[in-house]
Amino acid sequence: MSAFSQGGAGGRITAALRDATIAAAVAFGLFVVMVGLRTDVSPTGALVLRERWTEVAMLCALVFAGRLVVTLWGLRPQSLGQSPERAAAMARAGKLFAPLLLAAALVLPFVPGIGRYELDLGILVLTYVMLGWGLNIVVGLAGLLDLGYVAFYAVGAYSYALLAQYFGLSFWICLPLAGILAAFWGILLGFPVLRLRGDYLAIVTLAFGEIIRIVLLNWVSLTGGPNGMSGIPRPTFFGLPFNMSGEPGTFAGFFGIEPDPVHRVVFLYYLILGLALLTNWVTIRIRRQPIGRAWEALREDEIACRALGINVRNTKLTAFALGAMFGGFAGAFFATRQGFISPESFTFIESAIILAIVVLGGMGSQVGVAVAAIVMIGGFELFRDLEEWRMLVFGAAMVVIMVLRPRGLVGSRTPTIALGEKRAIGAGHVSEGRG
């Protein structure tokens, strides 16, 4: 898209320059106060101003240059998504890409040069992949906009922590319980609100997420309030604890190997990989079932569903509950991995990040969600040296990616059944849901 039309090149550049000047002027207005004058709290407690005009000038120059580049090289948003041909090509690539990704995930702990840090990052990414896949059931398939998904993550984490603390139950008993409890909360919260639509549902789920967090924060006698809960039991290898003593009853002792702290990390890595793959497997299977098709039909047209005898409320509830259940599993995993949880881990921003992963991945696409999680969480980690700047970059990335690719990475949809060959359906036809 870099070629200019010969005649209009000069005019285009002039127009671009004018455009960039306006942008720089706006930038000056935006930054002159907020950047140019920094408030600091002086030792006496009063506020003093520090002037930073150089920074303002630099920012304006940056905006000028950026705007110029964008206008001249035309980074235009793709508003209508992909053509069917392109969607089909993407789907074919996806078919190859998914097994490769899976293979890479499976062998990662044994790749030379992969140390503890990389594994920890892998665990973090996989946790978000799993959360993304769980939320994808609700948002991507059923078309229900849930901005409080983190609530179920919190329910799972606190369920495990509380059950372990008060009843001494092991991780392997608590994991299903955490999922069931989260699903139960999903039904409880979903029951009254699922007839709401679109943004209203989004805001109510957001409110529920916040209510749960505030309750966790203030119910100090049960949850420890802002101090959180510590000493959550770490997972065992089916009863064999990981510790450094090397005694017969431990993982290292049982298998007769040298005790190594990496064992537990590798185990946690495979645990979350397994949980994520379980989520994926269930989603893929359930899409081909009547209930899965009903979810997608609901996303496409709720009124038509009612005319076909589908119980809309129950269908929505199953999606909500199943999504919540996987959130609960992920929460229990999070608690056992950290050994410590506090309400701070379950803020609205987490919900927003998970939703962003789903939407960015292209709603309904399993591979897309996985790639989006890797890009967002991995990318976030890459910018760790930027410290406080990285959330800024993260938010800006969300805006830019949405503007450039409103349908996400994979906007097409694969049919669940076909008489002939399954062909991907271009994004133009697929609805986004109104619930």
Site for other proteins in 280-309 (CB under 8 A): 282, 285-286, 289-291, 293-294, 296-297, 300-301, 303-309
Q: Does 395 bind other proteins (CB under 8 A)?
A: yes
CB atoms within 10 A of CB 217: 17
Write the single-letter amino acid at 427.
Answer: A
Chain positions 340 to 359 lying near other proteins, rule: CB under 8 A, are 348-349, 352, 355-356, 359
Distance CA 63, CA 349 (A): 27
Structure tokens at 133: 């896949």
Distance CA 51, CA 35 (A): 9
Q: Residue 267 CB, nearest distance to other proteins (Å)?
A: 27
The one among 202, 268, 372, 409 contacting other proteins by CB under 8 A? 202
Measured from the CB atom, the residue of 77 and 261 that comes closer to other proteins is 77
Measured from the CB atom, the residue of 90 and 265 that comes closer to other proteins is 90
Longest distance between any two alpha carbons in the chain, whole Å: 82
In the three-class reduction of DSSP (H, G, I as helix; E, B as strand; rest coil), residue 77 is classed as coil
Chain positions 33 to 92 lying near other proteins, rule: CB under 8 A, are 33-35, 37-41, 45-49, 77, 79, 81
Minimal CA–CA distance to 142: which of 351, 362, 294? Answer: 294
Chain positions 210 to 269 lying near other proteins, rule: CB under 8 A, are 210-211, 214-215, 217-218
Q: Residue 117 CB, nearest distance to other proteins (Å)?
A: 25
Q: Residue 68 CB, nearest distance to other proteins (Å)?
A: 16
Minimal CA–CA distance to 346: which of 111, 60, 113, 151? Answer: 151
The one among 85, 199, 247, 344 contacting other proteins by CB under 8 A? 199
Q: Residue 400 CB, nearest distance to other proteins (Å)?
A: 8
In the three-class reduction of DSSP (H, G, I as helix; E, B as strand; rest coil), residue 50 is classed as strand
* Secondary structure of 223-269 as H, E, C letters: HCHHHCEECCCCCCECCECCCCCCCCCCHHHHHCCCCCCHHHHHHHH
Chain positions 139 to 178 lying near other proteins, rule: CB under 8 A, are 139, 145
Chain positions 264 to 283 lying near other proteins, rule: CB under 8 A, are 282
Measured from the CB atom, the residue of 106 and 349 that comes closer to other proteins is 349
Structure tokens at 429: 């036809």
Chain positions 9 to 38 lying near other proteins, rule: CB under 8 A, are 26, 29-30, 33-35, 37-38
Q: Residue 12 CB, nearest distance to other proteins (Å)?
A: 20
Question: Could you tell me which stretch among 10-18, 113-121, 227-235, 391-399 binds other proteins (CB under 8 A)?
Answer: 391-399
Q: Residue 253 CB, nearest distance to other proteins (Å)?
A: 38
Q: DSSP characters for 358-401? A: HHHH-TT-HHHHHHHHIIIIIHHHHGGGGTTHHHHHHHHHHHHH
Any idea what the Cα angle at residue 16 is, between residues 12 and 17, rounded to 5°? 120
Measured from the CB atom, the residue of 236 and 279 that comes closer to other proteins is 279
